[in-house]
Chain A
Amino acid sequence: EIVLTQSPGTLSLSPGERATLSCRASQSISSRYLAWYQQKPGQAPRVLIYGASSRATGIPDRFSGSGSGTDFTLTISRLEPEDFAVYYCQQYGVSRGTFGGGTKVEIK
């Protein structure tokens, strides 16, 4: 089974700063089926990025995804107050759905 490892576990930043979140797979995966989610307390996850780099409907362009093979990155160019949350990567598709352990982006 493929393992997704997210780093760092916690990112302490100020509004306006840039956030760079990493998701590393234990073996090469198709970028077509790599998603990033944002989750806030008491809410279901919300998809930000699918296919490694495509923004989901309604997602601001300060969110961007990149990567291929085993290394994927979510970048938030300038943090807004509503962006402080937990972020997960997921390998999805037929017969799979592994999540990374999550990165908490907190206010410094």
Chain B
Amino acid sequence: QVQLVQSGAEVKKPGSSVKVSCKVSGGTFSDLFFSWVRQAPGQGLEWMGGIIPILGTANYPQRSQGRVTITADESTATVYMEVSSLRFEDTAVYYCAVAPDYWGQGTLVTVSS
């Protein structure tokens, strides 16, 4: 049974960066594929990218490339997602997940001036 516990809500200014963490317990951390998914208010689910810790290299859809960085720390079994150059439209709940079964509780990131 994999459990994913995410860091708390953040309020950020436009142009700044945010780094959200996802602490993992259970399962074999190094060879799971961890995804980050976001959901803007009233909108659908958007896959932001993912990583297999043992490989170290993240995969991103075209839309995420350049502003999203996903990393993993095997020593602490934690996955991170950083979004840079934040815009108002990045306001969303961000989830880490091991699809399809395991999801974190979500982290609300609010971009506000």
Chain A interface residues toward B at CB < 8 A: 1, 35, 37, 39, 44-45, 47, 50, 56, 86, 88, 90, 92-102
Contacts of B95 in A (CB 8 A): 44-45
B21-39: which residues lie under 8 A (CB-CB) from chain A? 33, 35, 37
Known: A35-B99, A44-B103, A56-B101. A95 touches B59 (CB 8 A): yes
Interface range, B side: 20 to 34
Starting from the known contacts A90-B100, A94-B52, 20 additional A-B residue pairs (CB-CB under 8 Å) come to: A1-B61, A44-B103, A45-B45, A47-B100, A50-B101, A56-B100, A56-B101, A88-B45, A90-B99, A93-B33, A93-B99, A94-B33, A95-B50, A95-B59, A97-B37, A97-B49, A97-B50, A99-B37, A99-B47, A101-B44
Contacts of B76 in A (CB 8 A): none
Per the bound structure, the CA–CA distance linking A73 and B113 in Å amounts to 43
* A88 and B44 contacting across the interface, CB-CB below 8 Å: yes
* A98 and B47 contacting across the interface, CB-CB below 8 Å: yes
Pairs A-B, 4 closest by C-beta atoms: A97-B47, A92-B99, A35-B100, A47-B100
Contacts of B50 in A (CB 8 A): 95-97
Chain B interface residues toward A at CB < 8 A: 33, 35, 37, 44-47, 49-50, 52, 59, 61-62, 95, 99-101, 103-106
How many residue pairs, one in A and one in B, have C-beta atoms under 8 Å apart? 58
